[in-house]
Structure formats: C-alpha cells, structure tokens
Amino acid sequence: MPNRTVFFVSDGTGITAETFGNSILNQFAAKPRHVRRPFIDTPEKARLVAREIDATFAAEGKRPIVFITLIDPEVHDIVALSKGLVLDMFQTFVEPLEAEFGIKSNHRVGRFDDISKNQEYTDRIEAINFALAHDDGQSAKNLDTADVILVGVSRSGKTPTSLYLAMQHGVKAANYPLIPEDFDRHALPKPLAPHKEKCFGLTIAPERLAEIRHERRPNSVYASIENCRREVAAAESMMRREGIGWLSSTHKSIEEIATTILRDIRPDRLIY
C-alpha cells in the first residue's frame, strides 16, 4: 500500500489514538506512512491539521485514514469534516455508554486532571524509583516492600520488565541476577530466601542469550554459547527446585511478560 497516509490526531498526547489505530492497522498487511499530530486543542490547530489531511489526499490521490481522539465538539467537527476517512473511537462508544449509565459524559480532555495531586501517578513514579534502586541486585534493602522480585541470568530481560511493571502498573518490581556463584552453592542468593513466594523467574533460549550478550561483550566467555547453555540450565533447575514460577522471554515482548507476571503473581492486580 504505497502512497497511503495515516494520521493520529488528538487533543492530548495521542497515545490512545495511536494504540487504537495501530491495533486496527495491525490487522492489515499494509505499511502506510504514519503522521502524529498531538495537542490539537484549538480550532486554529484543528484547521491546520484538516488542511494538511486534504493536501495529503490531493497529493496522493487516496483518502488518508484519520484516527481521532478529540473531545471538544468544535475541534472535533473541523477535523471530522476533512477529506480523510475519519475513524472516531469516542463518538462511536461514548453514546451507548451514556444510554447505559443514564448520565452524560463530561467531555474531559486527557487522562489526568492535575498530575501533582494524583495518587495513581505518584505510585508509578515511586515504583520507577524503586525499580532503579533495586535493579540488578543493587540493594537488598526494602525487598519486603517489593511486589515482585524478578530472578534470572544476566540479560534475560529482568530490567526492562521491572521498569515496565513500574511505569505502566505502579508495581514495585526488584530484580536480582542469578550468577555462577549461586549455581555453585546450589542455593538461591541469601537476600531472596525470605521472599521466595514473591520471586518470579525469567529464562531465555541459550542461543538468543548468546546473541544478546555478544552485542554487549563480543567474543567473551560470558557470551559464549557453552557458557549460556550452562547458566540457563543451572538457573532453570534452581527455579524448579525452589518452586519459583517462571517463563521464557525468548519470543515474548516486555508487555507480554509483564502481563503474565501480573496475572500469575498478583491476581488481585487484575481487579482494580
């Protein structure tokens, strides 16, 4: 699909418009050009975007696809009247909900009113700080306040997962590496012993691990396939022995790993 453009137009960050639009475009084997237009919150800005959409149509000869999340009716109507194919999640779904709830929607723009007074938001920032302070076994302090402790060999995906859990879910995730010394001692690292029920393991295919480690330290023993095989086998047998739940990060995105962990270790977080 050459010469086709997709616009994401929003009065806020456009994150909702993009998540929404991309998940739908993913259903097509097409790679259209993407254009983001965030913070479109006045009629003047809306007119500029509408003009841009119309100009794109004229230049490409094909209607641009336009995903919008625009609350203000005046701003909304200006973009909706452009010559693109406008797909509007809000108008489509807000009406049936107004009928169901028996109340009017408030036409509120944005996710947070005032960030500095929002507890959910404060929790997320605090969780990020916690993840950073407890990255890579840096500190065994306050592990009792962790929601989850990720364990696994170096480069198995612990750090990005713990940051994601913090940033998106406000979950306090520490992470702790399993290193050859632990395998020799045939025991979990001491600081983890009292918190075994909070541990969650990440493993990874040795071939993939070797690839990742080679990028970091080319041609090292650390990155060699033999060493990766040995470490992964030892880590998996330790997790099995200690009864720690685990999954493989080889073919999974951070988002998928994080969601699985939430479901398994903190099912209460599935209801909020």
Q: Which of 45, 47, 63, 266 is in the footprint of its own copies by CB under 8 A? A: 63
Question: Is 108 a binder of its own copies (CB under 8 A)?
Answer: yes
| CB of residue 185 to its own copies, shortest distance in Å | 28
Among 61, 218, 219, 271, binds its own copies (CB under 8 A): 271
Q: Considering the complex, what minimum distance in angstroms separates the CB of residue 184 from its own copies?
A: 28
Segment (H or E) for 9: strand 5-10
Q: Give the burial class of 211: count Cβ atoms within 10 A of its Cβ; 0-12 exposed, 13-18 middle, 19 or more buried.
A: middle
Contact status: 270 vs its own copies (CB under 8 A): yes
d(CA 251, CA 40): 38
Instruction: Write the interaction track for its own copies spanning residues 232-261; mark x where CB under 8 A is met and - where it is not.
Output: ------------------xxxxxxx-xxx-
Q: Rounded distance, CA 17 to CA 87, Å?
A: 10
Q: What is the spatial distance between Cα 42 and Cα 28, in angstroms, rounded to a whole number?
A: 33
| String of contacts with its own copies for each residue 11-50, x by CB under 8 A | -xxxxx--xx-xxxxxxxxx--xxxxxxx-----------
Largest separation between any pair of C-alpha atoms in the chain: 70
Please give the Cα distance from 95 to 206 (Å, whole number): 52
Stretch that binds its own copies, among 91-99, 181-189, 227-235, 239-247 (CB under 8 A): 91-99
For residues 89 and 195, which CB has a smaller minimum distance to its own copies in the complex?
A: 89
Please report, in angstroms and rounded to a whole number, the separation of the first and last CA atoms in the chain. 42
The one among 52, 66, 69, 177 contacting its own copies by CB under 8 A: 69
User: Between residue 113 and residue 172, which ones bind its own copies under the rule CB under 8 A?
Assistant: 114-116, 121, 124-125, 128-129, 132, 135, 159-160, 163-164, 167-168
Q: Which of 2, 101, 119, 144 binds its own copies (CB under 8 A)?
A: 101
Residue 270 and residue 119: Cα distance in Å, rounded?
A: 19
Answer yes or no whether residue 225 interacts with its own copies by CB under 8 A. no
**DSSP result, 11-39:** SS-SHHHHHHHHHHHTTSS---EEEEE--
